[in-house]
RNA sequence: GCCGGAAUGGCGGAAUGGUAGACGCAAUCGACUCAAAAUCGAUCGGAGGUGACUCCAUGAGAGUUCAAGUCUCUCUUCCGGCACCA
């Protein structure tokens, strides 16, 4: 007797193991490109680094959106919800170095571990479409696209000042520098001169701003991207240098203040400084200042807002508006990379100019403002747009990345590696320990390969690409991951693009999300893809914090290990608890509550036991309310309230003497996207022979909701004084009559004049009196 | 400093301008048990009252409205992003 009861209790371990295997055997999550009568829906989540350790954040990122994808599937869409690995890059490489292992071997081992962990989520990933960016089959097309861009002048070589992390021995993008320190290791970043391959993202600056308007994206991301690109419209005005033919071109958005100019300031790095050196009478002071600036790190320059500078003695500039002579200074508050690297100093109207003038004892004069357009015309300036955004430097002096497919001839000219030689393989005969030089420069095989194909004396490029390149187009490869003749077939892209919904972390706002939009626009301009924007809708999620409310970290000892909880309580419980914590799609962070997760487990056990109550019951309006609520909430990523409404239904059913089998099965369907395993098991126990996940989404009966009685509040002058229960569809006169007939209300109104009665059916009655 | 959010019980959170605190957690009491766990039942914003009830309450202050957590203005605090961008 006892034994059979045990066998009927909820055993998550057996159930999850059994159904994960069964689904795989049945191939129910294999996605076809076209299914007659079904609309395609492409739901994308940011793929992951194969760190080999799946943490709670991964569950939140992948298992909760899986709820949405599953519901969409049951609602009749042909849903693609793929997964892959962003497998090149520093984390993998550093781990490999630490363990003295080969990055490739290490990476593939971690991926295998992670596949097992990812499968434990019970998500509907179609693994046959998996994409791995370090696979030559993948990076062949990364290189091919690079070649396309090279051929169309979107790629160039430039000597740039780069952010250099001395610890990681690598170049960092501005986006990867946080407070002047390396985003990954926290080491202060220094400036270093470095030739590198650049992508002309600035050419797309206007479109990257303007095309945001048509996207269904959160306002905050749009604003952040606009600000990051930093378009500003102003004028370039030339100040003549006295006794010189040459002038200093300044950029200003305040041409109207030109009468108030009392100096001109150049960035210390400005090329004109060198040219003027012969005229300057205080060369040593100027040189000294330039040298000092060079030794200052970006961090120093950012932290110190004190204005410093040196006047260039012996030269003066002439204000083109009024021909007055003003001194020329160099100052490190003027940025070489923005505008023209030179400003006209107007202390009266610009805070920074005033601080500088005060520090240096420069005059501050108050002159009337002029008409902007008039000034620009008068001084023959030109209206220009300038951007904060810089071109994208993609070179990395690292081993574990996509090799840049460039070779150099005997004169040092760069040539792309012809497409027929792609993939241009990453050599394996290399000691990849970082020492500030490119590991590929040490590959005998790469140099021999280059000479063999291109001729004696030809040399290979030894840099690899930033991994943001790899992730700029991965969503196309899911559509056709084994295509050997194109990155993806046109008809497959037609079937799926653009991506209907892209869910991911807020940290990618100005990095991945901007880079991949640029990459897609470049492909679009080359006629390679049909959509100029890849992601129709974007939803950013927040973080899962440790139980103490802090970000999970090993040092704080607050890391929640999902494998342990899945083992103890089951994947269904973990998925559902993460969904229940709060609304998805806000960047709010939620602390993991070890007790809270138990509450969800209790709910699933109640659902399990509820099966015993199946018998003769009445059709309940509550079920139809729940169908409506769950359907609407999933569509808005409010999984927490969807779960709450199912809990309310179960609470009600537990109080009922019996429930109908059909209604119970409807609940299983509503619950299926959240808890795919237990619902499948119960569905089969109810005698079904096909998967609950292949069943159609329940529809609610609106008539049942309209006929329902509802208790509404009765207020007097806005204060609640009673309540009446009336049908939702009752006419207002009837509701008013019922409200005024309440004994308590009568008592309150005794001796008072009713001035107005407001009746909102289904909501409220408010009696206004004196 | 600028831009974008947010602020509701002990906690996570819920509320098309319409009964504030759904749902869950924790807590307290009770049932079951030799006992504990589990489970089930009850209570659960504050103050007052035996009680039916009354008053107060959604960061602070004003305003609009029959009615404000929700709309408007001012302020405070917190979170995220950017920051000498001319």
Q: What is the pLDDT of residues A161-185, one digit of tens each?
A: 777 888 877 777 666 777 667 777 7
* pLDDT higher than 60, residue A130: yes
Measured CA distances, A319 to A236, A327, A357 (Å): 13, 10, 17
Q: Tell me the percentage of chain A whose pLDDT exceeds 90.
A: 74
Question: Tens digit of pLDDT for each residue in A670-721?
Answer: 999 999 999 999 999 999 999 999 999 999 998 888 777 888 899 998 888 8
Question: Does residue A620 lie within 7 Å of nucleic acid chain B, judged by its CB?
Answer: no
Please write the tens of the pLDDT for every residue from A428-472.
998 887 777 889 999 999 999 999 999 999 999 999 999 999 999
Decide if pLDDT at A493 tops 90.
Answer: yes
Residue A355: pLDDT above 90? yes
Q: Which residues pair with A240 in a beta bridge?
A: A247, A318
Phi, psi dihedrals of residue A280, rounded to the nearest 5°: -80, 135
Chain centroid to CA A343: 36
What pLDDT, on a 0 to 100 scale, did the predictor assign at position A522? 98
Q: What is the pLDDT of residues A627-673, one digit of tens each?
A: 999 999 999 999 999 999 999 999 999 988 899 999 999 999 999 99
List the alpha helices (DSSP H) in A188-218.
Answer: 205-210
d(CA A674, CA A601): 12
Beta bridge partners, A198, equal A156, A393
Q: Which of A213-217, A334-338, A406-410 has the highest mean pLDDT?
A: A406-410
Long-range pairs for A297-302 at CB < 8 Å and ≥24 separation?
Answer: A297/A180, A297/A188, A297/A189, A297/A190, A297/A191, A298/A163, A298/A177, A298/A180, A298/A189, A298/A190, A298/A191, A299/A179, A299/A180, A299/A181, A299/A188, A299/A189, A301/A332, A302/A180
Q: What is the mean pLDDT of residues A743-759?
A: 86
* pTM greater than the 0.80 cutoff: yes
Q: Above pLDDT 70, what percent of chain A?
A: 97
Which helix (DSSP H) or strand (DSSP E) does residue A711 occupy? strand A709-716
Nucleotide nearest to A600 (CA to C1'): B24
Poorest-confidence range of A123-132, A418-427, A609-618? A609-618
Structural contact between residues A327 and A261, judged by C-beta atoms closer than 8 angstroms: no
Residue A506 CB lies within 7 Å of the nucleic strand B: yes
ipTM for this prediction:
0.95
In this structure, are strands A155-165 and A170-172 parallel, antiparallel, or unpaired? antiparallel
Give yes or no for CB of A225 within 7 Å of strand B.
Answer: no
Say how many CA atoms lie within 13 Å of A377 toward its Cβ. 5
In angstroms, the CA A62 to CA A43 distance is 11
Using the structure, give the distance in angstroms from the CA atom of A228 to the C1' atom of B82, rounded to a whole number.
7
Distance between CA atoms of A437 and A509, rounded to whole angstroms? 31
- Does the nearest atom of strand B lie within 7 Å of A60's Cβ? no
Q: Which protein residue lies nearest to nucleotide B25, measured between its Cα and the C1' atom? A: A596
Which 124-183 residues of chain A approach strand B with CB closer than 7 Å?
Answer: 174-175, 178
- Which residues from 507-536 of A have any strand B atom under 7 Å from their CB? 507, 509-510
Pair type for strands A77-80 and A181-182 = unpaired
Note the CA–C1' distance, A564 to B3, in angstroms: 42
Residue whose CA is minimally distant from B52 C1': A744
- Distance from residue A421 (CA) to nucleotide B70 (C1'), in Å? 63
Average pLDDT value for chain A? 92
Does pLDDT of A249 surpass 60? Answer: yes
Cβ of A760 near strand B (under 7 Å)? The reply is yes
> Closest nucleotide to residue A594 (Cα to C1')?
B25
The reply to whether the CB atom of residue A307 sits less than 7 A from any atom in nucleic acid chain B is yes
Through-space separation of residue A747 CA and nucleotide B52 C1' in angstroms:
14
pLDDT of residue A1: 28
Reported as a single tens digit per residue, the pLDDT across A526-575 is 999 999 999 999 999 999 999 888 888 888 888 999 999 999 999 999 99
Split at pLDDT 50, 70, 90, the class of A298 is low
Please give the pLDDT value at position A145: 98
Q: What is the nearest nucleotide to A356, using C1' and CA?
A: B84
pLDDT confidence of residue A188: 75
Chain B bases near protein Cβ (<7 Å) = 3-5, 11-16, 18-20, 22-26, 38-41, 54-55, 66-68, 79-86
For the record, the structure tokens of A59 come out as: 């569950």
pLDDT score of A475 more than 60: yes
DSSP secondary structure, A64-94, as one string:
HHHHHHHHHHHTTEEEE---EE---SHHHHH
- Spatial neighbors of A35 by CB under 8 A, at least 6 apart, are A78
User: Residue range A499-509: average pLDDT?
Assistant: 94
User: Tokens in use for A342?
Assistant: 């030179």
Whole-number pLDDT of residue A682: 96
pLDDT of residue A299: 62
List of A residues 700-729 with CB within 7 A of strand B: 710-713, 715, 717-721, 723
Give the pLDDT of residue A78.
98
pLDDT value for A7:
46
Question: Given this model, what pLDDT does residue A361 score?
Answer: 95
Q: How far apart are CA A408 and CA A454, in angstroms?
A: 9
Residues 6+ apart with CB under 8 A from A91: A49, A51, A184
Predicted pLDDT of residue A354:
94
Which candidate, A403, A459, A391, places its Cα nearest to that of A432? A403
């Amino acid at each position: 007797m006892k034994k059979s009861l045990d066998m009927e209790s909820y055993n998550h371990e057996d159930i999850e193991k059994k159904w994960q295997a069964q689904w795989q055997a049945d191939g129910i999550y294999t996605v076809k490109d076209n299914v007659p009568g079904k609309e395609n829906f492409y739901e994308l989540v940011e793929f992951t680094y194969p760190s080999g350790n799946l943490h709670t954040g991964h569950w939140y990122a992948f298992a909760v959106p899986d709820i949405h994808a599953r519901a969409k599937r049951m609602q009749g869409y042909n849903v693609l919800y793929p997964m892959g690995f962003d497998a090149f890059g520093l984390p993998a490489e550093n781990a490999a170095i630490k363990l003295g292992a080969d990055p490739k071997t290490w990476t593939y081992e971690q991926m295998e571990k992670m596949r097992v962990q990812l499968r434990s989520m019970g998500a509907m990933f179609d693994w046959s479409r998996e994409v791995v960016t370090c696979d030559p089959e993948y990076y062949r097309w990364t290189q091919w696209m690079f070649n396309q861009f090279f051929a169309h002048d979107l790629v160039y070589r430039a000597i740039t000042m780069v952010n250099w992390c001395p610890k990681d021995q690598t170049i960092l993008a501005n986006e990867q520098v946080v407070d002047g320190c390396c985003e990954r290791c926290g080491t202060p970043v220094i400036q270093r001169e470095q030739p590198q391959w650049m992508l002309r993202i600035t050419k797309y600056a206007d479109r990257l701003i303007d095309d945001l308007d048509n996207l269904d994206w959160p306002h905050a991301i749009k604003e952040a991207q606009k600000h990051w690109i930093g378009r500003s419209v102003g004028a370039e005005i030339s100040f003549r240098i006295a006794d010189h033919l040459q002038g200093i071109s300044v950029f200003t958005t305040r041409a109207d203040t030109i009468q108030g100019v009392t100096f001109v300031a150049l960035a210390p790095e400005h090329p004109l400084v060198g040219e003027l050196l012969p005229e300057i009478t205080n060369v040593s002071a100027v040189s000294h200042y330039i040298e000092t600036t060079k030794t200052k790190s970006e961090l120093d320059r950012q932290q110190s807002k004190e204005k410093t500078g040196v006047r260039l003695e012996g030269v003066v500039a002439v204000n083109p508006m009024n021909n007055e002579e003003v001194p020329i200074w160099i100052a490190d508050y003027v940025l070489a990379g923005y505008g023209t690297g030179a400003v006209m100093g107007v202390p009266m109207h610009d805070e920074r100019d005033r601080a500088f003038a005060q520090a240096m004892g420069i005059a501050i004069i108050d002159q009337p403002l002029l008409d902007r357009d008039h000034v620009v015309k008068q001084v023959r300036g030109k209206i220009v747009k300038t951007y904060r955004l810089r071109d994208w430097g993609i070179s990395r002096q690292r081993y574990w990345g996509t090799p840049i497919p460039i070779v150099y001839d005997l004169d040092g000219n760069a040539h792309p590696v012809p497409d027929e030689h792609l993939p241009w393989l990453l050599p394996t005969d290399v000691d990849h320990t970082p020492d500030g030089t490119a590991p590929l420069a040490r590959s005998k095989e790469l140099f021999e390969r280059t000479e063999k194909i291109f001729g004696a004396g030809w040399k290979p490029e030894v840099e690899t690409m930033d991994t943001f390149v790899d992730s700029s187009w991965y969503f196309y490869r899911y559509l056709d991951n084994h295509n050997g003749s194109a990155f993806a077939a046109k008809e497959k892209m037609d079937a799926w693009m653009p991506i209907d919904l892209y869910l991911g972390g807020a940290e990618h706002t100005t990095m991945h999300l901007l880079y991949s939009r640029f990459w897609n626009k470049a492909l679009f301009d080359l006629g390679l893809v049909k959509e100029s924007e890849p992601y129709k809708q974007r939803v950013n999620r927040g973080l899962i914090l440790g139980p103490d409310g802090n970000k999970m970290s090993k040092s704080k000892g607050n890391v929640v290990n999902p494998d342990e909880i899945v083992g103890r309580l089951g994947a269904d419980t973990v998925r559902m608890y993460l969904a229940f914590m709060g609304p998805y799609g806000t960047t709010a962070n939620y602390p993991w509550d070890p007790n809270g997760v138990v509450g969800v487990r209790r709910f699933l056990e109640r659902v399990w036991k509820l099966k015993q109550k199946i018998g003769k019951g009445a059709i309940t309006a509550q079920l139809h309310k729940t169908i409506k609520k769950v359907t609407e909430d999933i569509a808005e990523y409010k999984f927490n309230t969807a779960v709450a409404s199912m809990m309310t239904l179960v609470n009600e059913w537990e109080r009922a003497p019996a429930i109908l089998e059909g209604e119970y099965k409807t609940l299983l369907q509503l619950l299926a996207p959240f808890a795919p395993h237990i619902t499948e098991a119960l569905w089969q126990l109810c005698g079904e022979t096909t998967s609950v996940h292949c069943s159609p989404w329940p529809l609610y009966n609106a008539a049942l909701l309209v006929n329902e009685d509802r208790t509404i509040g009765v207020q007097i002058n806005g204060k609640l004084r009673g309540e009446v229960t009336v049908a939702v569809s009752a006419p207002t006169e009837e509701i008013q009559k019922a409200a005024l007939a309440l004994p308590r209300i009568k008592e309150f109104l005794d001796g008072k004049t009713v001035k107005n009665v407001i009746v909102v059916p289904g909501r409220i009655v408010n009696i206004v009196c004196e």
